[in-house]
Amino acid sequence: MRHSVGLGLRREFLSDVLASTPAVDFWEIAPENWMARGYEAEYQLDRIRERYPVSSHGLSLSIGSPDPLDESFVRQLKIFLDRFNISRYSEHLSYCSANGHLYDLLPIPFTEHAADYVAARVKRVQDILERPVLLENVSYYVPAKTEITELAFIQRVLEHADCQLLLDVNNVYVNSVNHNYDPFDFIAALPSQRITYGHIAGHFEEASDLLIDTHGADVRSEVYELLAFAYQQHGDFPVLLERDFNIPPLNVLLKEVEKVKAVSQALA
Amino acid sequence: MDDFREIQKQWALWLRNPDGASPPANVSNKRLQVYNRLVRNNIESFVERGFPVLAEVLSKQQWQSLLQAFIEKHHSKSPLFANIGDEFVNFLETYTHSQASAISYPCFTYQLACYERMEVEAYHAQMSCIPPMVEQVECTPWCVNPSLQWRDFNYPVHTIQPQLIPNAPLPQPIFIAVYRVDCFDENKQFSSTVKFMQLNPVTMLLIDLLQRQPGLSITDMAVRLSEQLPQFSVQQLEQGLLTTIPDLYQRAMLFPFAN
Ligand SMILES: [Fe+2]
């Protein structure tokens, strides 16, 4: 079986991708980094799109925000996704605005009420986009409230919104250290049928009990183990390698993509 | 109001003003500080990249307090990171003119920020800005490069640097146009350059006219401009335009109009 492994597309190496057309199964982009960025951005994305499948991973939808859902933004997003014919749209189970944007991902309080509120907004977004929304389990450094567990919160949102999960195994690992739980138990408890996409990335160890989800380092072996475990538990799903800081040359990243691929092939 | 939303609003209040607002209850301060750091570093790096000259000419204290005030007082509406700079300019427009701050900022702060933002917006203009060929200057209908923006300034914002800081407004405002020129280089790679140009008042009128009414020929323009410049005859204006228009076309500020 051939597992699909993609790489986060960055402007830092975009011209190398266009020049050398490396063998990558798909690329992932953040629509917010390409919308309203001028003619050159559209031109480049068209060239990428001619040669590769592209997934999208939003940053600013702020699905859990106390502010009203920005429907005009969601409609712009639809125009963008349609324009580049991108069907997979994922976002963070998080929020980044409250009385205006703060441009960083914050943890939604884990309450039943919050989960239902998020689920209703996800449905609305799916209606406007005419696409499924995949929600990603996010990393966090301190919970805002734990009326229910993080796991129960995620499960409730997925069920009530009837949506899919983007399983980020690095985020599970980071959270398991930061909040002292077993990452294997956590992954095993997630609903297999909803896991349709995965992320893997590197993190930074600020203290032995505090990992920061930087996407700025190589993937750690513990995280590869979690990916292998997730495949055993839930079957195959496409995985994307994220790298957003300390970006090495493209050929170095492509080697890491191969390592991710080897994890899934070892199990096949 | 739902309980969970109250918690979120408390987080946001504290993140905007960690020295003034009370932190969310029952949350480890050490961990909260991680969020404070992430939010601040992220916004600051976007603003710093968008306004390098302003960041350089303000004192460290002025710059830091301006960033703090932006995070605290401005409620950014745009979800796009590319628009954080626009949000910052909107914030400066009222903030630097108000008495809200204990620290004073140079009188040119807002206008310099506008000028630096125009460069970014020229890059972000959606249309292609490859100058098309022109056969005959005299009978061509004209339009303005779609990325071109202009503004009047009371300070020589295009020359401001740490050693060249104006302390009073200019006797007359100046007009500066910012625009982008695209091309495919010899390797067929797309490339863009942003250009700046100080314009005299008559050229400014011309650009403004063509932006409002694209598709005018030189003769049309001479007739329209003579309404605003009664001291010149239509013939004089037409003569002048016959040298000005090719020059502006050479600079890729004007394009032949195609509808
Ligand atoms: Fe992720």
- CATH number for the domain including A61? 3.20.20.150
Residue of B nearest to A147 (CA): B4
Going by C-alpha positions, the residue among A175, A100, A253 that lies closest to residue B78 is: A100
Position B172, amino acid? Q
Measured in Å, residue B234 CA sits from the centre of ligand 1 at 65
User: What whole-number distance in Å separates Cα of residue A65 and Cα of residue A47?
Assistant: 35
Which ipTM did the prediction report?
0.95
Give 10-residue mean pLDDT values along chain B (259 residues). Answer: 88 97 93 97 97 97 96 97 97 83 88 98 94 88 97 97 94 97 87 95 96 96 95 96 96 92
Q: How far apart are the C-alpha atoms of A218 and A255, rounded to whole Å?
A: 11
pLDDT digit string, tens, across residues A159-187: 999 999 999 999 999 999 999 999 999 99
Q: Which domain holds residue A229?
A: 5-267
Give the C-alpha distances (Å, rounded to integers) separating B39 from A35, A97, B81, B184: 22, 11, 13, 39
Q: How far is CA B200 from CA B177, B206, B244, in A?
A: 11, 10, 11
Q: Which residue of B has its CA nearest to A67?
A: B5
A window 90-129, beta carbon within 8 A of B? 95, 97-104, 106, 108-109, 111, 113-114, 117
The residues of chain A scoring below 50 in pLDDT are none
Domains of chain B plus CATH, in order, are 2-105 (1.10.150), 127-256 (3.90.930.50)
pLDDT at A175: 98
| DSSP character at residue B216 | B
Please give the pLDDT value at position A2: 66
Distance CA(B215)–CA(B257), nearest Å, equals 5
A223 CA distance to ligand 1 middle (Å) = 13
Q: How far apart are CA A170 and CA A198, in angstroms?
A: 10
Number of structural domains, chain A?
Answer: 1
What was the pLDDT predicted at B259? 67
State phi, psi for B244 to the nearest 5 degrees. -65, -45
**Residue A121: per-residue pLDDT:** 98
Closest CA to A101 of B66, B75, B40, B13: B75
Strand-pairing partners, residue A28, are A8, A55
Partners of residue A111 in chain B, C-beta under 8 Å: 3-4
For an interface test with B, which of A34, A45, A70, A141 has the most B Cβ atoms less than 10 Å from its Cβ? A141
Say whether A65 and B8 touch across the interface (CB within 8 A): yes
Residue A126 host element (H or E): helix A112-129
How far B99 CA lies from chain A's nearest CA (Å)? 23
CB-based burial of residue A185 (10 Å sphere; 0-12 exposed, 13-18 middle, 19+ buried)? Answer: exposed
Helix axes B109-124, B84-95, angle to 10 degrees: 160
What's the pLDDT score for residue B189? 83
**Residue pair A169/A227 in contact by the 8 Å Cβ criterion:** yes
Distance between CA atoms of residues A222 and A201, nearest Å? 11
A61 vs B: CB within 8 A: yes
Q: Which pair of structure tokens corresponds to residue A43? A: 């031109």
E strand or H helix at A96: strand A95-97
B27/B126 Cα distance (integer angstroms): 45
pLDDT at B190: 86
Amino acid symbol at A103: Y
Residue B150 CB-density burial (10 A; 0-12 exposed, 13-18 middle, 19+ buried): buried
Q: Measured between CA atoms, how close is B100 to chain A, in angstroms?
A: 20
Nearest to B125 among A35, A38, A109 (CB): A38
Q: Which residues of A touch B8 (CB under 8 A)?
A: 64-66, 95, 98, 106, 108-109, 144
pTM for the predicted model, two decimal places: 0.94
Strand A204-207 relative to strand A195-201: parallel, antiparallel, unpaired? unpaired
pLDDT confidence of residue A208: 95
